[in-house]
Amino acid sequence: MFDRDKRTGREIGRRAFIATSGGALVAFILWCYQRSDPNRVEASPDKPPQQVTIVEFTDAGVRKGVVTEPMIRKTDAEWKAQLPHDSYEITRNADTERPFTGALLNEHDKGVFRCICCDTALFSSETKFDSGTGWPSFWAPIAKENVNEIRDMSLGMMRTEVRCRLCDAHLGHVFDDGPDPTGLRYCMNSVALRFAKAS
């Protein structure tokens, strides 16, 4: 009887080890896939940059007008030189900051949240709300023209990634569990944004 119990214990231990190792391997593969970021735009001397149309806003959130300009493309080295390390990893490599650590989580002043990479207006303080998730959350972008929403299959689930239209910076993800009037939650990384307070 004791021999059988020992064998059963060893078999369970072996199975747990195999399951844990397999899970770790799958997590590592998904992490590598996410880091490869096939949507990232690099500078290319061969072809001219794509033209994009965005809406400009003052820091008070007043619409100034529509402009069409070349998409900003830089090399990895140029982005690294321009951005703090955390901002680089999140905006250029689609990383995610830890919840409840972002400087803009509790920002409640009136103003505009701009892209840390190119200063495009992305979100207004008027649509910010406390989602309880640990990331700055908004129920709508300041202008749909200023963001791209891309299907994201990383981490083994279907999500919608949000990127800056002008420079292709990864900002976060949008979910359909937000408040009225849109029912959406744009869950953003603080270090992907710069807050411009209304004067």
Active site residues: 187
What CA–CA distance (Å, rounded) separates 176 from 182?
A: 9
**C-alpha distances in angstroms, 47 versus 27, 43, 161, 190?**
37, 9, 26, 33
> 171: which 2 tokens?
């900002």
Locate tokens 């749909």: which residue?
144
**C-alpha distances in angstroms, 40 versus 2, 72, 133, 146?**
59, 12, 26, 17
Cβ atoms of 103 and 113 within 8 Å: the answer is: no
Q: How many CB atoms lie within 10 A of CB 142?
A: 23
What CA–CA distance (Å, rounded) separates 123 from 144?
A: 10
